[in-house]
Amino acid sequence: MDSALDIFGSQSWLRPAGIGAASAYDLTLAMTAGFGVVFVLMMALIALAWRARAAPRTWWIWTGGIIVPMTAILLVLTGSTLALVAMTRADENALVVDVTAHQYWWDIVYDPDGMAVRDANELVLPEGRPVTLRLHAADVIHSFWVPSISGKMDMIPGRVNTLTVTATEAGRFRGQCAEFCGLSHPRMAFEVLVLEPAAFDDWLTDSAGPARDPARTDLVAGRDVFAQQGCAACHEIRGVAEGGRLGPDLTRVGARGSLGAGMWRMNQGTLAGWIASVRDMKPGAQMPNFNHLSGPDLRAVSAYLASLK
Ligand code: CUA
């Protein structure tokens, strides 16, 4: 299988594509330059002190030991506090999106107080429009981070942290859970798809509808396997099997770019492998291996899921 690095978008804060990431980048450059100056100044003062060690002067101690470090620390504190306040401030006009971290996947609900579109493991954002993310955790502490778009924010059970992000460039980016949360913490990534505003509105409206009806008989057979195996106890497919919220929503699962929370390319083959051996692909995942399925059943159910777009 392809490794995630080949198939997903940028995950680098060195190439910012969002307002938060740009301010973190600028802050890093300013700090590097500022501390470079402080370093040179300190070295000069040390050299001066060494040459005049027989007759020390107190202003050197004041300057090198207190005034220069205090000024540098205050500047850094001010800059980083302003950046943090800007990132966490809720925007009145922002679209609200609830993101809940689970071991090891992401539940995502767009516009939770309005049309409430549920999806998983792929965050779709409108270009140029602020989005306030309400970050929740279902089990242990996780951390939300899309380095190209914004700063990082912890997700803590029992509280809601907010992060306002504005993507400034359409394209595909990659996010990653940034807090150790168990065996498959490194396999808890996600994709971020930034769409132009009109395309985003179309996507949201389209995503609010129920799953498409299968057009072919093999897909109908796959939907029957989904029902017989009790998949609906954990997974929702709107219009087909509602109420299962323990696992990712599958209404548009075939439309996602990746499978297993940003780990493998999404297609029927990887889906079949995933269903049969999820515990081997992602140690510690809650879903059991469905390796008792017959070949035809596995083929049918994976074809059905891949068709849900
Ligand atoms: Cu979730 Cu690390």
Q: What is the pLDDT of residues 115-160, one digit of tens each?
A: 889 999 999 999 999 999 999 999 999 999 999 999 899 999 999 9
Distance CA 307, CA 210 (A): 13
Q: How many angstroms does the Cα of residue 249 sit away from the middle of ligand 1?
A: 19
State residue 160's pLDDT score. 95
User: What is the rounded average pLDDT for all residues in the chain?
Assistant: 88
**103 Cα nearest atom in ligand 1:** 1
Backbone angles phi and psi of 19, in degrees to 5: -65, -45
State residue 142's pLDDT score. 97
Percent of the chain topping pLDDT 90: 50
pLDDT tens by residue, 243-258: 888 999 999 999 898 8
User: Is 80 exceeded by the pLDDT of residue 265?
Assistant: yes
User: Is 50 exceeded by the pLDDT of residue 41?
Assistant: yes
- Which is nearest to 222 in space by CA: 175, 173, 275? 275
Q: How many angstroms does the Cα of residue 262 sit away from the middle of ligand 1?
A: 13
Name residues whose C-beta falls within 8 Å of residue 5's C-beta, 6 or more positions apart in sequence.
none
pLDDT tens by residue, 192-231: 999 999 999 999 988 888 888 887 878 888 888 988 888 9
Statement to judge: residues 235 and 255 lie in one domain: yes
Domain range enclosing 128: 95-207
Q: How many angstroms does the Cα of residue 19 sit away from the middle of ligand 1?
A: 24
Identify the domain boundary among 87, 110, 126.
87
Closest protein CA for atom 1 of ligand 1: 142
Distance CA 230, CA 292 (A): 14
Residue 121: C-alpha distances to residues 134, 174, 189, 215, 254 (Å):
15, 11, 8, 26, 12
Statement to judge: residues 289 and 237 lie in one domain: yes
Identify the domain boundary among 87, 114, 144.
87
In a domain, 55, yes or no: yes
Tally of structural domains, the chain: 3
State residue 192's pLDDT score. 94
Overall average pLDDT of the 21-36 stretch: 88
User: Is 90 exceeded by the pLDDT of residue 100?
Assistant: yes
User: Is 70 exceeded by the pLDDT of residue 234?
Assistant: yes
CATH assignment at residue 138: 2.60.40.420
CA angle 294, 299, 300 (to 5 degrees): 100
User: Is 80 exceeded by the pLDDT of residue 167?
Assistant: yes
Query: Are the C-beta atoms of 235 and 222 separated by less than 8 Å?
Result: no
Distance CA 143, CA 24 (A): 17
User: Is 70 exceeded by the pLDDT of residue 78?
Assistant: yes
pLDDT tens by residue, 192-201: 999 999 999 9
In a domain, 70, yes or no: yes
Query: Are the C-beta atoms of 67 and 38 separated by less than 8 Å?
Result: no
In a domain, 123, yes or no: yes
User: Is 80 exceeded by the pLDDT of residue 87?
Assistant: no
Query: Are the C-beta atoms of 118 and 239 separated by less than 8 Å?
Result: no
State residue 289's pLDDT score. 92
pLDDT tens by residue, 52-65: 777 767 777 787 77
Query: Are the C-beta atoms of 107 and 100 separated by less than 8 Å?
Result: yes
Distance CA 278, CA 259 (A): 11
Identify the domain boundary among 87, 108, 128.
87
In a domain, 135, yes or no: yes
Statement to judge: residues 200 and 221 lie in one domain: no
State residue 84's pLDDT score. 81
- Cα 180 vs. chain centroid, distance in angstroms? 14
Statement to judge: residues 80 and 59 lie in one domain: yes
pLDDT tens by residue, 169-179: 999 999 999 99
Radius of gyration of the chain (CA): 25
pLDDT tens by residue, 284-295: 999 999 889 899
Overall average pLDDT of the 30-35 stretch: 88
**142 Cα nearest atom in ligand 1:** 1
Question: Which residues form ligand 1's pocket by a CB distance below 6 Å?
Answer: 101, 104, 142, 177, 179-181, 185, 188
Query: Are the C-beta atoms of 129 and 195 separated by less than 8 Å?
Result: no
Q: How many angstroms does the Cα of residue 153 sit away from the middle of ligand 1?
A: 12
**101 Cα nearest atom in ligand 1:** 1
**182 Cα nearest atom in ligand 1:** 2
Q: How many angstroms does the Cα of residue 244 sit away from the middle of ligand 1?
A: 22
Residue burial 18-31, b: 16+ Cβ < 10 Å; e: rest? bbbbbbbbebeeee
State residue 5's pLDDT score. 47
Q: Coil, strand, or helix at residue 47?
A: helix
Distance CA 237, CA 254 (A): 12
Query: Are the C-beta atoms of 225 and 155 separated by less than 8 Å?
Result: no
ipTM of predicted assembly, 2 dp: 0.99
